[in-house]
Chains A and B, each alone.
Chain A
Amino acid sequence: MSGYAVSVRDLTVRYGRTTAVDRVSFDLEADGIYGLLGRNGSGKTSTLSVLASLRRATAGTVLVDGADPFENEALMAGIALIRESGDVLANAKISVNFDYFRRVRPAWDPDFAEELVDVFGLNRKKPISTFSRGQKSAFGAVIGLASRAPLTMFDEVYLGMDAPSRYRFYDLLLADYAEHPRTIILSSHLISEIERLFSGVVVIDEGRLLLSEDVDEFRTRGATFTGPVAAVDAVTAGLRVVASRSLGPTKEVTVYGDLDETTLAGARSADIAIGGVSVQDLFVHLTEKESR
Chain B
Amino acid sequence: MTTDAPQWVRVTLRMTRSALMSLAWFWAICLIAATVVTIVLAWRLGEPPFSIMSTVRYGGIWYPFSVGLILVTATINVHVAAGQTRRSFVIGSLLSGALAGLLSGVIMTVLLPLEAEVYLAQGWPHLTTSAAAIPEPWGTSLLLHCAIFVTGSVSGVLVGLTYYRWSAWATLALPLTVLAPVIASGMDGRSLTIAAIWAASAVTAVAAYVLARTIPIRKPLEMS
Contacts and interface: CB of A to CB of B under 8 A. Distances in A.
A278 B84 CA distance: 39
Contacts, number: 73
Contact of B220 (A72, A77, A83, A147): A83
Contacts of B224: 129
B85 A76 contact: yes
Contact of A56 (B84, B214, B219): B214
A105 B83 contact: yes
Given A54-B216, A129-B224, A87 B77 contact: yes
B85 A73 contact: yes
Contacts of A86: 220, 223
B83 A76 contact: yes
Interface in A91-128: 100-101, 103-106, 128
A60 B25 CA distance: 49
Interface in A51-78: 52-56, 71-73, 76-78
B3 interface: yes
Given A90-B223, A129-B224, A53 B80 contact: yes
A149 interface: yes
B86 interface: yes
B217 interface: yes
Contact of B82 (A55, A73, A100, A129): A100
Contacts of A128: 223
B217 A89 contact: no
B190 interface: no
Interface in A127-174: 128-129, 131, 136, 147, 149
A87 B82 contact: yes
A81 interface: yes
A227 B83 CA distance: 52
Nearest to A78: B83
Given A85-B222, A128-B223, A54 B80 contact: yes
**Considering the complex of A and B, which 7 residue pairs feature the smallest CB-CB distances, nearest first?**
A87-B81, A55-B216, A54-B217, A77-B83, A76-B83, A90-B223, A129-B223
Interface of B: 3, 6-7, 10, 14, 75, 77-78, 80-88, 213-214, 216-217, 219-224
Interface of A: 49, 52-56, 71-73, 76-81, 83, 85-90, 100-101, 103-106, 128-129, 131, 136, 147, 149
